[in-house]
Amino acid sequence: MKKTKSTIQKSGLDRRAFLASTAAVGFAATASGLLVPSESQAAEEPQRGGHLVLGLDRGQTTDVLDPGTYTGSAMFLVGFTWGDRLVTTDPVSGEALPSLAESWTSSEDAKVWTFKLRKDVRFHDGTPFTVNDAAQTLRRHSDKDSTSAALGLLKGIETIEEKGGDLVITLKNGNADLPLTLTDYHLQIQKNGGMDDPNNAIGTGPYKLESFEPGIRITFSKNEDDWNEDRGFVDSVEVLVINDNTARIAALSSGKVHFINTLSPKTMPLLSRAPNIETISTKGKGFYSFLMQGDTAPFDNNDLRMALKLAIDREALLKTVLGGYGTLGNDYPVNDAYALAPTDIPQRAYDPEEAAHYYKKSGHEGPILLRTSDGAFTGAIDASVLFQANAKKAGIDIQLQREPSDGYWSNIWNKKPFVAAYWGGRATQDLRYTTSQLSTAPWNDTHFNDPEFDKMLLVARAETDQEKRRALYREMAIKVRDNSGLILPVFNNFLNARSVKMKGWIDDVGNDLSNGQLASRAWLVS
């Protein structure tokens, strides 16, 4: 695979040729697999022991251990290292799998959910994990005065009760995805729900917190009493916060850390040439986007919105800004990393003529102001300049205004009518649409307002027949694609790198850093 990547860089293959060549590689691999057993990580028996060091970005001195506050990648991983959620996800299919909850059932209308919890689990301080701890955790995050980032997710909960040794959650409206909602990374189960001290980090995860110096270094030791034997292979884990890109790469190249995250597409091919380093590109649910507020002039005109959607060269953007490390977007916020994703919606392509046609039809004249910033996503300025050049060919005049990264998410995004923005993935399509396409959502950043869509979202949420749900989600995707103010040219891959000494990485569609579980999955070659 490494070789394929470097050929793309050199010969500048287009995407189709890339697909053809990877298909060839795939074929060759299966054919040769019969003769020479290929080195497959899954087949290797993990070794135990060692001290794992991870160099991660996006950690700050202002970080705290309360999982309700986690935002950056460092704390995201830290939560999974000391904690467990009730439900976890399958790395490939994204389906809900048992974790602290061993099984669950729901009422017909998906309103009342009963979770059977494990009884053999102890917290790091030796006290047994009980239903009360799970209930208290969910109560703390869903209380109306909570400052937890998961508050919005849990709004639909009516009551949280303990009945006959089980956890019973009653919802205001049916939600077939409740188990997946509980996989959110803020919902790490804490002793007494963290009600005594939200920052105590006393969980049931594979490692115990040893020391916490926010924004500098966080260390863990193996939880010898772990209920799950298939994880936590090393003796101790050290998370070093290295926010500077070059310093992270230097730390990995010199062997001071085993893993670094957030590489830029430009450094990927360079780094993959180093003998002791493997670069990792993982498909994700996050996307780069340009957002138009559909109720603000001139974007209240669907012809103009359509013109702009057709006036962006997605292939070029994927190749230049992302270095090919991503997949094309189709103007709805879901890709095949989501369960029940639509598969047969035609891909929208760059068409200056068609764009010019819609632009003329819209009757709009004069320049259109696009606000952009490096804080929106990596390469946002480049992407905006490319968009500007593409649109010019269709006769559309986009003017760029560069905004400071500092405060971009509080002052520009969701406030100004046309902006560059990034969105991370969500556990389910329902959550994805509920977060930013539902007309009443606070983060409805395109001001999409379609009562029909809102109704379908609620119906799909309570629908337990998977095929019916799939059909509903397909229709909803088409609505967003053709009517909303969302221009979604690409989904980006997560770009990381590891030392060859570290193994056990699993590509996880859930989120970056092996869905946060890198420390519990990784092992070291002695």
Residues forming contacts to other proteins in the complex (CB under 8 A) are: 55, 60-64, 71, 144-149, 151-152, 199, 211, 213-217, 240-244, 246-247, 250-251, 253-256, 406-407, 409-411, 413, 442-443
SS (H, E, C) 362-404: HCCCCCEEEEECCCCCCCHHHHHHHHHHHHHHCCCCEEEEECC
Nearest residue (CB) to other proteins, 192 versus 444: 444
Residue 54 C-beta: closest distance to other proteins, Å: 12
DSSP structure class, residue 508: -
What minimum distance in Å lies between the beta carbon of 422 and other proteins? Answer: 8
Residue number with CB closer to other proteins (40 or 246): 246
Q: How far is the CB of 214 from other proteins (least distance, A)?
A: 6
Q: Closest distance between other proteins and the C-beta of residue 310, in Å? A: 28
Q: Which residue's CB is nearer to other proteins, number 226 or number 238? A: 238
Between CA 432 and CA 424 the distance in angstroms is 9
Q: Which is nearer to other proteins, 395 or 424 (CB)?
A: 424
Identity of the residue, 22 or 253, whose beta carbon is nearer to other proteins in the bound complex = 253
- Least distance in Å: CB of 63 to other proteins? 7
Return the structure tokens found at 253: 């190249």
**Which one, 127 or 276, has the nearer CB to other proteins?**
276
Which residue do the tokens 């970056």 mark? 512
Q: Tell me phi and psi for residue 196, to 5 degrees.
A: -75, -45
- Shortest Cβ 443–other proteins spacing (Å): 8
Distance (Å, rounded) from C-alpha 505 to C-alpha 64? Answer: 27
Terminal CA-CA length for the chain: 25
Cα gap 178→106, rounded to integer Å: 9
CB nearer to other proteins: give 241 or 355. Answer: 241
| Least distance CB 270 / other proteins (angstroms) | 13
What's phi and psi for 295, nearest 5 deg?
-110, 10
Q: Which is nearer to other proteins, 156 or 232 (CB)?
A: 156
- The letter for the amino acid at 91 is P
27 vs 443, which CB is nearer to other proteins? 443
DSSP 189-203: --GGGGSS-TT----
Largest CA distance in the chain: 70
Q: Which helix (H) or strand (E) holds 399?
A: strand 398-402
Q: Is residue 410 classed exposed, middle or buried when 0-12, 13-18 and 19+ CB atoms within 10 A define those classes?
A: exposed
CB of residue 463 to other proteins, shortest distance in Å = 27
Closest CB to other proteins among residues 206, 485: 485
DSSP, res 36: S
Q: Whole-number minimum distance, CB 292 to other proteins, in Å?
A: 18
The single-letter DSSP state of residue 354 is H
Give the integer Cα–Cα distance in Å for 70 and 214: 12
Minimum Å distance from CB 380 to other proteins? 14
ω into 298 cis (within 30 of 0): yes
Report the distance separating Cα 508 and Cα 520, nearest Å: 13
